[in-house]
Amino acid sequence: MALRVFGLNIVKTNRTLLQNACKSTAPPTGYMAVAPFATEVTIQAAPAAVQKQKVSKAMRAYLKRANEHDEFMKTQHLEFQIGKRHLANMMGADAETFTQQDIDEAISYLFPSGLYDQKARPAMKSPDVVFPARKAAEFDETGRPYHSMFYTGKPNFFQLLHNIVEETNKLADLEERLLRRGNKPDDNQKLEMAGFQLLPKDQLEILLVESIADIEYSNFTKSMERLIASPYAYKSKAFIERFLKPLMDQSKQLEVPKPKIDEEGRQYITTYECLRKTARADVTVRLPGTGKISINGKDISYFEDENCKEQ
């Protein structure tokens, strides 16, 4: 009997100790219970490594040259605008409407020259004409190119072909939608190309600031002709006109007067008040002529100075 009581006391004592141990190791409220043999793992994220961008000397030199050229062109444009205003004031003209043609005429009037080579004569042109165009910086500081087609070798040219195809596809989709509705293109709205031609190869190269091969220029012309042939090409008129050149400068078109008939039955045209500095002259040209020049009853030797004869 004594052994049974002693055994019960031991069992109760062990049970109490076990309950107390479980209470002391119980997880806090809100946490899931885990197995006592589970492994506890602590993960601590390391801070992201800060990588310094390494810029090579060649890249720094390239970016420096590009920035210097941009600043140089800005300065030249500013000086050109100031010079144009001074020239307009000297000629008594409005500086806001003073065109390049007015500048050329003013320079020719103020600085007459008899030099044979036109490039050697005094001139005042826009910096974009005087200084050859250069591409802007094509890379960032890490050497990554800005243009998505940089690795084609001629990004501007292939971007142009891409834009032409985009315009052609848009017009084709428009034509298809209208045909489904039963609408046909209006012939009166067709894009008129009379008097215009596509830019020649050399001018296209200047516009793109890239050299292109003959076969590449042929691809350009074929793509543009396909775009222009669309009956809805007038909707892309602004895009197409960027690559067109007039066959004749409209500003230089003159209205030729009708010839008259003299007593001898020859045709002639007389232009009155021809201006050259302070001199005024009436000039008559006859057809058929004799090849002789008469100036106040004398031949070309009327002008003793060679420059006057040339002008």
Q: Is the pLDDT of residue 311 over 70?
A: no
Task: For residue 226, report the phi and psi dihedrals to the nearest 5 degrees.
Answer: -65, -40
Q: Which residue has the higher pLDDT, 147 or 309?
A: 147
Average pLDDT over residues 126-155: 77
- pLDDT per residue as tens digits for the range 14-67: 566 556 655 555 455 544 444 444 445 444 554 544 455 566 676 677 677 778
Average pLDDT on 290-296 reads 79
List the chain domain ranges: 57-130, 150-251, 260-310
In the numeric block, the tokens 């020049």 are attached to 293
Q: How confident is the model at residue 5 (pLDDT cuts 50, 70, 90)?
A: very low
Tens digits of per-residue pLDDT, 88-132? 999 999 988 899 999 999 998 888 888 888 888 888 998 888 887
pLDDT for the residue 22: 54
Helix (H, G, I), strand (E, B) or coil at 33: coil
242-289 pLDDT tens trace: 999 887 655 445 566 778 888 888 888 888 877 777 778 888 888 877
pLDDT over 80 (residue 226) = yes
Which range is least confidently modeled, 147-161, 223-237, 268-282?
268-282
Q: How far is CA 44 from CA 14, 41, 47, 110, in A?
A: 41, 10, 9, 81
Mean pLDDT check: name the lowest of 75-79, 160-164, 217-221, 265-269. Answer: 265-269
4-8, 59-63, 181-185, 192-196 — which is least confidently predicted?
4-8
